[in-house]
Amino acid sequence: MNEFGAKILELLSYNASSPLIFSSGLFLYLFLGFFALYIALRKRVNLRILYVVAFSLYFYYKSSGIYFLLLLLAATYDYMIGYSIYLSKSKRTKQWLVGASVVINLALLGYFKYTNFLVDLSNQLFGEGFLQFQNIFLPVGISFFVFQSMSYTIDIYRGELRPLDRWIDYLFYLSFFPQLVAGPIVRAKDFIPQIRQRPQLTREMLGTAIFLILTGLFKKAVISDYLALNFVDRIFDEPLLYSGFECLMGIYGYALQIYCDFSGYSDMAIGLALLMGFRFPKNFDAPYQSATITEFWRRWHISLSSWLRDYLYISLGGNRKGNKRTYLNLLLTMLLGGLWHGASLRFILWGALHGVALALHKMWLSVVPWAKKDGASMVLPVRLIGVVFTFHIVCLGWLVFRVDSMQTAELLLHQIFTAFDTSLISQVVVGYPAVMLLIALGYLLHFAPKRCDRYFEGVVTRAPMGVQVALFVAMIWLVMQVKSSDIQPFIYFQF
């Protein structure tokens, strides 16, 4: 086979060790080719929809291999169930149908996400070999498209959405590649009206998209990846080798890493969708600026927190059945939110920590009449105290979220509280100049006022096309300077 044929075969093959991600050079080349033909098809609605679906399925195949068939399966059964709910005249039948959709989706999610955990647990309880089961591969982003699919049938059942007439349109919604593997979780009622509209790309939309893609690349490929490989992973792997200050900076570093990784993906997804004429809601809003844990969850992974609120918390009764039931509903919602991330004790503890914190904040508001429900309305000194306190509660959660075992968490905390030698701080800063600079820069940008973000967005948006291209080339050069030889998948690919 000649070299050209080998390249084509490589493009058409799935490589588990090298999934297709937004921050890779391969995706850039593929998207440029895709986008050129997409623009040419902007007036041909049906062809454009088929083209985007084909590229989206290819993108998911390059991320998860043969498991792209799961996407087709979910699109088929929920499309049929949604239409059946709409046509049914019996409330009881509607309930059975929406229940079937929820059960099928949760069964699909449960099989791939929790079978390995249950098998391991059974073997630990009843002896090794009690259950023989081959290790199950977790398809990338299955939690995201399953939640999107469930919201479609539930919204039809609630009378908030009319079902789509064409299966291909529903597959377009479910498989749309910018948000397919790591969100944001886009509601059907927000996305569906945009499917058959002629794509428009104004000068302002183009500039905003470029700004979002540039900031997303910087967050993910420069800050997040560099911190992970050169500092955070080392601290979490062997905490006893490091001082208390280094362990504390490792936790702060991970808080910045996971934010930059996930919000960077969301920025790129929103920017890519905007280039194609689709508008997605914001998924992150400077969450570490929050003065309360409730405010944090209004700013962190907004699409998931709002999904849990609308489809789980409210369904459990929300705050309509008294204070005690409200606290229980908050705890259950966050426990299930933790389980959504995976079947592991650390995710359960992470969800429980946030559930308890949310319940305690709700309780505080009920017993202290002068407490400010909205953290943004607090006087500045009180708000600063709230921001620092909330940030450290969140960091405690990230510690539990990140470690491989609770023993590692104990070792990290032990080092922080028993081996914190202030005389070593200057040595650590000098020893890790690039790491400390990126941590400082990352938090400085995160805590900068919103007007700064709007100012720089305006500068990029209004800049001539030549300047925008130069900025993009400069960002690619910067990414190439700091990237490692191995591709660093997005953290939320595992969820």
Active site residues: 341
3-state secondary structure string across the chain: CCHHHHHHHHHHCCCCCCCCCCCCHHHHHHHHHHHHHHHHCCCCHHHHHHHHHHHHHHHHHHHHHHHHHHHHHHHHHHHHHHHHHHHCCCHHHHHHHHHHHHHHHHHHHHHHHHHHHHHHHHHHHHCCCCCCCCCCCCCCCHHHHHHHHHHHHHHHHCCCCCCCCCHHHHHHHHHCHHHCCCCCCCCHHHHHHHCCCCCCCCHHHHHHHHHHHHHHHHHHHHHHHHHHHHHHHHHHHCHHHCCHHHHHHHHHHHHHHHHHHHHHHHHHHHHHHHHCCCCCCCCCCCHHHCCCHHHHHHHCCHHHHHHHHHHHHCCCCCCCCCHHHHHHHHHHHHHHHHHHHCCCHHHHHHHHHHHHHHHHHHHHHHHCCCCCCCHHHCCHHHHHHHHHHHHHHHHHHHHHHHCCCHHHHHHHHHHHHHCCCHHHHHHHHHHCHHHHHHHHHHHHHHHCCHHHHHHHHHHHHHCCHHHHHHHHHHHHHHHHHHCCCCCCCCHHHHC
